[in-house]
Structure 1
Amino acid sequence: MSFGLPSIKVKPENVESRKPQEGIFGIPDPMVAGIGATKVKIGNSHPLQLSERNYHMNEEKMNMAMLRNIQGLHAPLKLTMEKKFSSKVGRLPFLPSSNLQHDVLTGRYLDIGFEDILNTQDLCEIAGQPHAVVEKSLGIL
């Protein structure tokens, strides 16, 4: 019995295999088409690659569907509204933003990723002057 509610299980959207254009030796020639173009022609190298690329989006859809099934329509609507408002928090352009409120609402504050270690503001090579950055963002400069 589904009661017309969305499924909780994640279903793959585009499952198709593409045959790459082959060069002289039976493999795509990266010197002719380039490495990036060759990878696009090959498609996904592993069945989980598409799923991992869309992991956060799939997890959010599943959580919203579960929340709707358990608590009703108001809960996902309220959470979506809070996420939208937290993403619009305005700061001056030269001040770093951690987006902590948005990360807490999405649950990403528990994940440690590549950007948490190697993307810190104190390691940034570009430090602009506050007045110049604000004037450029306002279109004065």
Structure 2
Amino acid sequence: MSFGLPSLKVKPEHAGNIPIQEGPYGVSSPLVAGFEGAKSKLGMSHPLQASERNYHLNEEKMNMAMLRNIQGCHAPMRLSMERKFASKVGRLPFLPSSNLQHDVFTGRYLDIGFEDILNTPEFCEISGQPHAVVERSLGVL
């Protein structure tokens, strides 16, 4: 019995053979094409890479399906509506937002990830005049 839950078995996103590119050893030179050009042509480096990329989405789908089976349709609809409203709450475009309310709804406020340590606003290279940023977001400029 699956109870409508998504499968836990990992399914590869890309099936088939990877075409060999020109250059020595079948890989294009990173000095010519850059590292991103070489990476995009290689494909998946590990079978779990696709699963890990979609981990939070798969976990949310499984939790919503379990909640729907236990409490009915109203519970997942209410939670998804609250998450939608929490993601729309924001500040002015030139002020950084922590999205704490959305993180609490999704449960991500307990996790420490890459973006928590190395994506801090004080290290951001982009800063502009507040009036120009707001006018640009409103479509005045």
Aligned pair in 2 of structure 1 residues 138, 41: CA closer, same or farther (>3 Å)?
closer
TM-score (norm. length: structure 2): 0.80
Compute the displacement of 1:121 (Å).
Answer: 1.6
Per the alignment, residue 21 of structure 1 pairs with 20
CA contact (8 A) 1:83 1:105 kept: yes
Percent identity, aligned pairs only? 64
Per the alignment, residue 52 of structure 1 pairs with 52
Q: Which runs of 5+ in 2 are unaligned?
A: none
CA contact (8 A) 2:18 2:42 kept: yes
Per the alignment, residue 124 of structure 1 pairs with 124
Compute the displacement of 1:122 (Å).
Answer: 2.2
Per the alignment, residue 9 of structure 1 pairs with 7
Compute the displacement of 1:20 (Å).
Answer: 3.1
Q: Which runs of 5+ in 1 are unaligned?
A: none
TM-score (norm. length: structure 1): 0.80
Amino acid at match of 2:73: L
| Number of equivalent positions | 138
Aligned pair in 2 of structure 1 residues 96, 41: CA closer, same or farther (>3 Å)?
closer
Deviates more, 1:55-64 or 1:127-136: 127-136
Distance 2:126 2:42 in 1: 37
Cα deviation 1:80-103 (Å, max 9, x = unaligned)? 111111111142112211111111
Per the alignment, residue 39 of structure 1 pairs with 39
Compute the displacement of 1:56 (Å).
Answer: 1.0
Amino acid at match of 1:56: H
Aligned pairs for 1:50-129 (under 5 A) are: 50-129=50-129
Cα deviation 1:17-66 (Å, max 9, x = unaligned)? 423315465x3222298344443343212111111111111111111111
